[in-house]
Amino acid sequence: MQAQHAHQMALASTGNIVITCAGAAVVVGALAFYFGALLSIVRSDLTGGVKLLWGAFAVMAPYLGSLLWFLIGRRNAQRRPGIA
């Protein structure tokens, strides 16, 4: 009985470690997505005022702003051939 209790405690501890690592991976991924969006905004070919607006939106609404940048803003910021 005592051995079974020890085994259950070890499994509970392992489960907590897995959940903690998964949570940490989600947080690191979200931060990488956010900082990647900010870096992409800064390095884009947009004018200063438009960069400032995108950057402010990304800072005020980190996940939504970053997502919208990658879905909408980045595509519009790419250089088009023949346009100076």
Q: Could you read off the pLDDT tens digit of each residue along the chain, which spans 84 residues?
A: 666 665 566 556 777 888 888 999 999 999 999 999 999 999 998 888 999 999 999 999 999 999 999 999 888 776 555 444
Q: How far is CA 23 from CA 4, 16, 26, 61, 67, in A?
A: 29, 11, 5, 21, 20
Distance in angstroms (rounded) separating the CA atoms of residues 42 and 45? 8
| Listed residue (40, 62, 61) closest to 51, CA to CA | 40
Q: What is the pLDDT of residue 66?
A: 93
Distance in angstroms (rounded) separating the CA atoms of residues 72 and 54? 11
Where along the chain do its domains lie? 1-78
Q: What is the pLDDT of residue 12?
A: 61
Q: What is the pLDDT of residue 84?
A: 45
